[in-house]
Amino acid sequence: MACTCLCLYASRSQAQRTGERAVSGPIDPHATTETRALFLNLRSLARSHVLLGHQDDLAYGHDWIGESGRSDVKDVAGSYPAVYGWELGGLEHDKTNNIDGVPFADMRRWIVEGYGRGAVITISWHMDNLSSGGNAWDTTSNVRAILPGGLKHRDFVQWLDRFASFANDLRARGPSGTEVLVPVIFRPFHEVSGSWFWWGASHATDDDYRALWRFTVDYLRNEKGVHNLLYSYAPNADGAGHDHYMNAYPGDEYVDVLGYDEYFRPPHAGDADAVVAMSAHLRWLVTTAESKAKIPALTETGYELIPDSTWWTSALLPAIKSDSIGRRIAWVLLWRNANRAKMGRDHFYAPYKGQASAADFARFRRDPLMMFESDLPPLYRLPR
């Protein structure tokens, strides 16, 4: 299934014929070679394949924690996922573990490990509410307090300094054999069109959100010299679909990835309406991303507990591939498989061995559209 080489999707003249902007590269003009290569190769690969991702895949699973080489996805499908999602909540306070109990030292090691096998790394950050002292879900918020001139701005800058140190510490052996910084797709302040986070639509004006995003990018890129990041803007699909997606959009010069967080939810998780709705959302997302020369991605999705034994091939796969445009997303990230014993209940989005949908997930993996880690072409070499 894997390609032997990747070429850029379109020349300038081809882009003009399709209404798509010519691809120049990531928004950071000083992006590392590997980060630029990842951007260009994901843009190209999205024309023919969708990478499968999973949150916290190497850290724990339904019935294990921290076992070397373990992965619920690999146990069922025979390959690690092509995309690894990680979470930074807790880093702002310089904690040892993140909000899900993953040690940051181990996370760094797993990030380097995944990169070494050629996979993609994406990071979210459910940072605490600096204004109130609560967590990310504390919506007694004042975003302006952390913007330049705000009472908490200096503290926010310190949080960004800690993230900059984390990103600049992700070093591994690159394609040429020399040490390089691991490219990371950074997805901060996500699901802005909802209201469950302190940066959400009901708690921050669109102008304040844009100011927050732009300051974050400018500070990391221009002041801290972090050049191994691609920036992912990822609102959530709500009842209005994509109607509110662009309300808080920071601008083309501040975004590399147009993402969508959209989950299937009972009681209609696998019905035709849910599949058609997601397919329509993805069509809009891809069309918009391609018009801006951005990478489109389904940045969070899944069906909690997956009680439908054929959900992968009867719901998720048709939602992705049924539309000839909507299928051109670069990746789909499943949310995490919490450890049952530690959490005290089931909370998972990928199957594990013996789970009802495991056999169907293996069929899902064999579809020519889908790519897992062992199927990947070289993503960190510049295309010729």
* Residues with a known catalytic role: 191, 300
Per-residue three-class SS string for the chain: CCCCCCCCCCCHHHHHHHCCCCCCCCCCCCCCHHHHHHHHHHHHHCCCCEEEEEECCCCEECCEECCCCCCHHHHHHCCCCCEEEEECCCHHHCCCECCCCCEHHHHHHHHHHHHHCCCEEEEEECCCCCCCCCCCCCCCCCHHHHCCCCCCHHHHHHHHHHHHHHHHCCEEECCCCCEEECCEEEEECCCCCCCCCCCCCCCCCHHHHHHHHHHHHHHHHHHCCCCCEEEEECCECECCECCCCCCCCCCHHHCCEEEEECCCCCCCCCCHHHHHHHHHHHHHHHHHHHHCCCEEEEEEECCCCCCCCCHHHHHHHHHHHCCCCCCCCCEEEECCCCCHHHHCCCCCCCCCCCCCCHHHHHHHHHCCCEECHHHCCCCCCCCC
